[in-house]
Amino acid sequence: MKPTLPVSRALRTMLVLSLAAGLAMACAETSPTGGGGDGGAVATDTGSTGTDGTATDTGAAGTDTGAAGTDTGGGGGTAKVMTVKELLQAAQAVQGKVKTCPAFANPPALSKVSVKGLVAVTPVYKAGTTLDGLFVQVKGGGAFSGLRLVGDKASKLFEGVTVGTGFDIEGQVVIFYCEVQIQITKLTKSADAAVLPQATTVTLADIGEAGTADSNNSYEAALVTLNDVVISKTEALGTDGKPHGDLWIGKAKGDEGLIVRTNFEFPTTFYTYDKDTKKWTTKLVEGQKLKSISGVLTYSYEHWKLQPLSDAMLVWDSSK
């Protein structure tokens, strides 16, 4: 990753080489199943234990090492103020959602950006050995509303941030295996009262296997809700052909509409993992109806995936 700050050529080279080595480590398998697949993003999602792969902390060249709201990274010029829509569209134009993605890409035009009016959608979660993670969106949600943020744990950038906290950020856009995220260098909390994030209702024609690239891209990292779907397959196998605690939902049994992803950083129990037997188990059955299911839309290992944040986001239909 190229540092966002003006440094000597020698130091810049050292930082780039150091970060590149860290990014290469992200390809190492840390899943309890030992299988390949859902690798996640730079230094994010180590909590998605067994969801097909790894997310090793890469560090952050030139990132903020001060308190929230202060930028100790030094200089570097004025951050470019962008809306979430502008940022996502610019990043997605650099690296579209394709089956083979580079480990990382750092668009030069997005090396120092500022986004205002964000609301925390999730609690802060462990994103890597030295990084915290957070999903956010603009107030009201909708298409082009969501972002995944990562920040250096030692800098305590996310300190005091809870669901509904409002703030502005500065940082660098990183595209890791086709997923857009912001490595933040500064976070400034809003004085406004907390605003609970709102989910946007979508359909399987908007997101997932049947959704177009443009439609899926527009809901990346957004909080969305699907109504009237079923557990179509209780196992969604990874790219290694092994189970990793994910399942398919669809319009009917057997329909591969959208993968629902387990992430143990969030309190969901629809899948469990036994470390002794190294097996995944679920009490869900194929054909089981859901009145609604909500979560954050993510992308990894060739598929869009819905990541519920709690069991409450799965609302069951008990009607016969």
- For the chain, which residues make up each domain, given as ranges? 200-316
pLDDT at position 231:
97
The pTM score is 0.77
Residue 42 has pLDDT above 80, yes or no: no
Rounded to whole angstroms, how far apart are CA atoms 188 and 151? 13
**What is the b/e burial string over 44-62, where b = at least 16 CB atoms within 10 angstroms of the residue's CB?**
bbbbbbbbbbbbbbbbbbb
pLDDT at position 1:
35
Residue 85 has pLDDT above 50, yes or no: yes
pLDDT at position 66:
32
CATH of the domain spanning 200-316: 2.40.50
Give the closest residue to 150 by CA, choosing from 205, 232, 90, 221: 221
pLDDT at position 127:
84
Rounded to whole angstroms, how far apart are CA atoms 50 and 33? 6
> How many other C-beta atoms are found inside a 10 Å radius of the C-beta of residue 274?
10
In the block, which residue shows the tokens 């969901």? 268
Calculate the average pLDDT of the chain: 78
Instruction: Please report, as a single letter, which amino acid is at residue 317.
Output: D
pLDDT band at 77 (very low <50, low <70, confident <90, very high): confident
pLDDT at position 97:
56
Q: Which two tokens stand for residue 92?
A: 């997605």
Q: Which two tokens stand for residue 234?
A: 């209780």
Residue 125 has pLDDT above 90, yes or no: yes
Q: What is the mean pLDDT of residues 85-102?
A: 78
- Torsion-angle region of 99 (φ positive above 0: left; ψ -120 to 50: alpha; else: beta): alpha
pLDDT tens profile 205-260: 999 999 999 999 999 999 999 999 999 999 999 888 999 999 999 999 999 999 99
DSSP-derived pairing of the beta strands 289-300 and 223-233:
antiparallel
Region of poorest pLDDT, from 47-51, 225-229, 294-298: 47-51
**Which comes out higher in pLDDT, residue 301 or 75?**
301
DSSP-derived pairing of the beta strands 113-120 and 80-81:
parallel
Residue 109 has pLDDT above 60, yes or no: yes
In the block, which residue shows the tokens 């097996």? 279
pLDDT tens profile 57-74: 333 333 333 333 333 333
